[in-house]
Structure 1
Amino acid sequence: MGENKAYLSNEGQYTVFSFGETRLKFIAPYSLERYESVVQWDKGYLVVMAKYAHNNDLEEEYIDLIPILRSLYITPDEFLKPIKKVE
């Protein structure tokens, strides 16, 4: 399963999505402290629980990787197909 697993994290003001040797890095919401968990993975669409500086409670956040992949000239279907799980 390890080869079919992708990872979501953040580094400062950036969200990082890593799979295999590919690492996508894009601007995160300004007050994001961390991603706590991935609730759902659906072929490029993520539902995650995130911790923000302005709120003591976790908030549900949505990330759509498809437009990001397209803007980088990465074919979404080819890139996303082998991913079975995101942590």
Structure 2
Amino acid sequence: MTMAYATLGNEKNYTIFKYGPYTIRFKAPYSLEKYTAIKEWDHGYLVVMAKYNHNPQPEEEYIDLLPILQDLYISPEKFLQNIKEVRLENA
């Protein structure tokens, strides 16, 4: 994989992280409407702003991909090594 960026989005009750041929889906809070910004990307750790239906203002949230990748038997070191940034999908 030579892409330098991945994408983050959501669909129904799932967060969706895409990179190259991989699409990783994991449960999101039921009230998540959308992700509004990526504040930080640090080799598998994301700081994002998320809009929830119970709050008119976006809230800061944290996503750690390392345990998710490990549970899927994907080597975090190999998978994450070329990702330089994460962009919002459908923003």
- After TM superposition, the score normalised by the length of structure 2 is 0.92
State the SS of the aligned residue for 1:3.
Answer: coil
Mark the runs of 5 or more structure 2 residues left unpaired by the alignment: none
1:18 shift after superposition: 0.2
1:28 shift after superposition: 0.3
In the alignment, the residues of structure 2 paired with residue 46 and residue 60 of structure 1 have an alpha-carbon distance, to the nearest angstrom, of: 10
**Letter aligned with residue 64 of structure 1:** D
Runs of 4+ in structure 1 displaced over 4 angstroms? Answer: none
**Letter aligned with residue 77 of structure 2:** D
Within 5 Å, give how 1:9-20 maps onto structure 2. Answer: 9-20=9-20
Within 5 Å, give how 1:53-68 maps onto structure 2. Answer: 53-68=53-68
In the alignment, the residues of structure 2 paired with residue 85 and residue 67 of structure 1 have an alpha-carbon distance, to the nearest angstrom, of: 19
Determine whether 1:82 maps to 2:82.
Answer: yes
**Letter aligned with residue 63 of structure 1:** I
**Letter aligned with residue 7 of structure 1:** T
Mark the runs of 5 or more structure 1 residues left unpaired by the alignment: none
Percent identical = 56
- After TM superposition, the score normalised by the length of structure 1 is 0.96
In the alignment, the residues of structure 2 paired with residue 46 and residue 30 of structure 1 have an alpha-carbon distance, to the nearest angstrom, of: 20
Higher helix share: 1
